[in-house]
Amino acid sequence: MSRPGAVPEMSKEEAEAFIEKLLQEGLLKEENKHIWSMIRPERLKRMYDVLNQRTRYVSVLLEAVDNGHNQAAVLRSSDAFGIQDIYIVLGEAAFEPNKNVTQSAHKWVNINEKPDINTAVKELKEKGYQVLASCLTKDSVPVDEIDLSGPTVLVFGNEHSGLSEEAVNLADGKFVIPMHGFVQSLNISVAAAVTLYQVTKRARRTAGDRYYLSKEEKQELFIRWIKASVSPRVLKMLEADKRQ
């Protein structure tokens, strides 16, 4: 039995037709054939399917999330729900997600470190995002009622203290996951997963074609993923051979 998401083995004709499709779409280029020819067509097809579900319409910003397990879990959830960009503002610890937890998710997403929360929010707003803070306050909107008519960044804070007052004040709005038990909040990694599931599901319906990457973004990302699929040692050898 094949794994969920696995691509069935292609015949020679199917593989050749698929490679031609990728060339026509500009996702593969002859100049990089020395790299992508090393990857099985079924693997390229899996990457292609994932690429066509990727989004920058929804992104994530983490402020002072110090625990490596939580860092990794957020990356893994982001990848699972098609989020391409994660922005990071460091706290007391370095950003060193646990590789055993990420399940290689760190290879497929963009991790963008910013020097402070003010810079991060300012740059994101300049890109056209609304910035929404995960915050347990009376005026926080339930996550399933967030306005997703425009590109949105979801901000999550430290495991123990939550978001800083500065982050909350800089945000365009606040949201909360409604709780119906004795506890009032979830662990950061669980909260991010629940939120991303809710938000991406609704955003796909709300944004339509705007939700997905542009042709140029797909071309750039696909080449990056292809290179990430080859071991650094082999990639270095292939590049050296081509220059000779």
> pTM of this prediction?
0.92
How many domains does the chain contain in total? 2
Cα separation values, 192 from 33, 100, 198, Å: 38, 19, 10
Do 48 and 62 reside in the same domain of the chain? Answer: no
pLDDT, tens only, 35-62: 999 999 999 999 999 999 999 999 999 9
Rounded CA-CA distance 9/241 in Å is 30
> Domain check: are 183 and 76 in the same one?
yes
200 and 224 share one domain: no
pLDDT, tens digit, for every residue of 139-183? 999 999 999 999 999 999 998 889 999 999 999 999 999 988 877
Same domain flag for 145 and 222 = no
How many other β-carbons are positioned within 10 Å of the β-carbon of residue 73? 23
Residue 230 dihedral angles phi and psi, to the nearest 5°: -105, 140
